[in-house]
A and B are shown apart, each in its own frame.
Chain A
């Protein structure tokens, strides 16, 4: 079946450090891929998405490129801020518009 695997956290970084959160997915066709962010006590917010191979999704300084050859959709940001501290979820769409989520990665950014 469909699955999404992302690196376990927590990831702890200093402000202005470079961020990578790895995400890989099972390759059944060409699913749309997503990154969601969840701030403490809140719901899910769409961070970015990509719908086909080599697409690059970007938002608020975050980027992720749809890599068909490695079935990956790694999240990157060049310079993190304290306000980026949150839990990040990678997800893929499947039949019936079902979303399959990774387990989430908690990011903590220290001043």
Chain B
């Protein structure tokens, strides 16, 4: 059981380049989300999805796009990379039942924009 798989683990981009951070989960979780972690600021929500075909913006969505065509995959697209997007990105999947909520995080993608 792989859990949540993020690729790549590290990436360096030049300002203005675009790229896609991949996130895949094999637990059939309904919910998926993307967070960025900046020094001293904790994790902030970028975008989230409550199911295939449904996405919504989080706290810091500008400069990012997402789509959820399948339950398993939730890619994050950087449209035109900026130095302010240098960060560590975490993808998470989660479930919600009568017995509670559970989350699984990927291992993160460290992105540097120069």
Contact A99 B42 (CB under 8 A): no
Q: In the assembled complex, which residues on chain B have CB atoms less than 8 Å from the CB atom of A89?
A: 42-43
Confirm or deny: B56 has a beta carbon within 8 angstroms of a beta carbon on chain A: yes
Query: Min CB distance, B40 to chain A, in Å?
Result: 7
Interface 0/1 of B39-52, CB less than 8 Å to A: 01111110010100
A binding-site residues for B, Cβ under 8 Å: 32, 34, 42-44, 46, 49, 51, 89, 93, 96-104
Alpha-carbon distance between A51 and B97 when the two chains are bound, in angstroms: 12
Contact A97 B48 (CB under 8 A): yes
Contact A32 B101 (CB under 8 A): yes
Contact B41 A103 (CB under 8 A): yes
Contact A44 B41 (CB under 8 A): no
Confirm or deny: B74 has a beta carbon within 8 angstroms of a beta carbon on chain A: no
Given contacts A101-B42, A103-B41, 5 further A-B contacts (CB under 8 A): A44-B43, A44-B90, A89-B43, A97-B48, A103-B40
Interface centre among B56, B95, B100, B106 (most CB of A within 10 A): B100
Interface centre among A46, A93, A98, A102 (most CB of B within 10 A): A98
Out of A49, A99, A102, A103, which one reaches B45, CB within 8 Å? A99
Alpha-carbon distance between A83 and B46 when the two chains are bound, in angstroms: 32
